[in-house]
Amino acid sequence: MITSVLVANRGEIACRVFRTCRELGIRTVAVFSDADEHALHARVADAAVRLPGSTPAETYLRGEAIVKAALAAGADAVHPGYGFLSENAAFARAVTDAALTWIGPPPEAIEAMASKTRAKELLGIAPLDTVTEADLPVLVKAAAGGGGRGMRVVRRLADLDAERDAARAEAQSAFGDGEVFVEPYVENGRHVEVQILADTHGTVWALGTRDCSLQRRHQKVIEEAPAPGLSEELTRDLYDQAVRAARAVDYTGAGTVEFLVADGRAHFLEMNTRLQVEHPVTEAVFGIDLVALQLRVAEGRPLGPEPPRARGHAVEARLYAEDPAAGWAPQTGRLHRLDLPDGVRLDTGYTDGDDIGVHYDPMLAKAVAHAATREEAVRRLAGALERAAVHGPVTNRDLLVRSLRHEEFTAARMDTGFYGRHLPALTTPAPDPYAPLAAALADASSRSRFGGAWRNLPAQPQVKRYVMAGEEHEVRYRHTRTGPRADGVRVLHTAPDLVVLEVEGVQRRFEVARYGDQVHVGPTRLTALPRFPDPTAQHAPGSLLAPMPGTVVRVAEGLREGSSVEAGRPLLWLEAMKMEHRITAPVTGTLTALHAVPGQQVAVGSLLAVVRGEGD
């Protein structure tokens, strides 16, 4: 019997595993990096062990340090979560060699399937050794790991070598393994997967399908179960291939077999020998706890002869601290509030007041809705996200709501090219035009409570300025003896946290929260501007500023001050939140200043370089 589990991971998945362990009466142990010293997963565990350092390579990728932590804390089992070392056979062996129970598949199965090249060979699928123009487009893909890292779509043969080098570098940084391979890239297919669960007694369950087609940068954004619109014949083929893959390597535990579905056929992609991020939709549909079943299998107990019956439909959306309209740039800062309406499952590694740092994935939470039908589940999730309080950095919340309500998604006609086709429309700003007025009136109400009352005589117009959706908005209102007055609306109620306006005969309520110069009016995010702008906050034309905090990982070869550059040419690369981001020349001209060097930590807005255009 397992009595104490160390989770060799962080954030949301660590908290998720701890929740099941607590319900089963199992003691929990966390590991945490210096950057995660105050993280939720380190706070909620029964015991926590520090891993000195902040980067993954220094901490969560150090298998020997994690095994040592488990022994020191008295754990008798290790759960790897997903990412990091979850598909590392050497780590699995180190756990079992230390007389600890490994909550995962045998190391031999991990070795056979964790390398995508070897997995394809096992199933008789050969990668592309030589690429010609006729093969394009192709996908360069890391042999190890997942989560969209180490993947590049190549559409021009001339770009292949550079993209292969970039994928190798990213894969080495993320997984400690720089092996990559090339495979055909199927445009606009559907990403469909099968959840499997196998015990040590020869039983293999195929726990339904999931559709994970809505992706950005090859990383999933919205997932659902079951995958809609599949024929019975195709579903049986998916099940058969998944079970066959599991039996081919004597698999045990939870795993996922992924496919690209196109033209009515299933093309094998890979097998993930771990729990998936999107596992909650399967749990909701089958009424099970996959973590509890992982523990059961690890203890050697059998599964039932048949899996439970599926009921209804479930949809999951991943809430990220990122700006989809700015190249999915990750965001950092204080998460002041995260709250969703009742009736929706929320899996998260954050609580109100936590800081979102630069070292790890920017996912804040997963929201999951389950209902009798797909239509009801989708509507429930979209409504919950729309009403959610997400106060802090910019997130993809509005994108999620619009995606869930897009006609292609509601009609189940989506594919992996969804965001490539629709991102501009999905990210076109549509803020509430009355949000700035509500913010200004709430601020005035707060000040009146601490500095007097409303005026008895009409006063000069009060002016406040806000940035909303990238544009500056000026608000004017007056203080009167009956309260504030604004043109075109009736002000019915003002308080620091609530403003009620009557607009064209309709009463509208605006919940308001302010944190410094950041104001949230319902789902709308604003920035309050000072009365007098700072004249020093200027940069020379052509300045390249860091779009996010991160680390400069490399500078283009041969680049120096005085170099000629072409518009769009990558000049340097930043790594932040597990992703590499290219900083490119904005115009064709001359590099007049270069302030960035490899290894340098930069803050958002830091001056990296200056490019002077040819005509400047």
**Would you please indicate which residues are annotated as catalytic (active-site) residues?**
274
73, 47 Cβ separation under 8 angstroms? yes
3-state secondary structure of 388: coil
Instruction: Tabulate helix, strand, coil % of the chain (nearest 5).
Output: 30, 35, 40
3-state secondary structure of 143: coil
Amino acid (one-letter) located at 554: R
Long-range contacts of 531-535 (CB under 8 A, 24+ apart): 531/465
Computed on alpha carbons and rounded to an integer, the radius of gyration of the chain in Å comes to 26
What DSSP designation does 289 have? -
Cis check: omega of the bond before 307, within 30 degrees of 0:
no
What DSSP designation does 14 have? H
What is the C-alpha to C-alpha distance for residues 427 and 326, in angstroms, rounded to an integer? 9
3-state secondary structure of 87: coil
313 token code pair? 């439909």
Give the C-alpha distances (Å, rounded to integers) separating 56 from 33, 59, 306: 8, 5, 40
Beta-strand relationship, 204-216 and 265-272: unpaired
122 token code pair? 């096992």
Residue closest to 335 by CA, chosen among 11, 7, 16: 11
What is the C-alpha to C-alpha distance for residues 368 and 282, in angstroms, rounded to an integer? 11
Q: Tally Cβ neighbours within 10 Å of residue 218.
A: 17
Helix (H) or strand (E) run with residue 147 in it: none
Give the C-alpha distances (Å, rounded to integers) separating 410 from 263, 324, 502: 21, 21, 33
Cis check: omega of the bond before 80, within 30 degrees of 0:
no
Burial of 291 (0-12, 13-18, 19+ CB in 10 A): buried
Long-range contacts of 417-420 (CB under 8 A, 24+ apart): 417/187, 417/188, 418/213, 418/214, 418/215, 419/214, 419/215, 419/216, 419/221
Q: Tally Cβ neighbours within 10 Å of residue 204.
A: 19
235, 207 Cβ separation under 8 angstroms? no
Q: Tally Cβ neighbours within 10 Å of residue 354.
A: 19
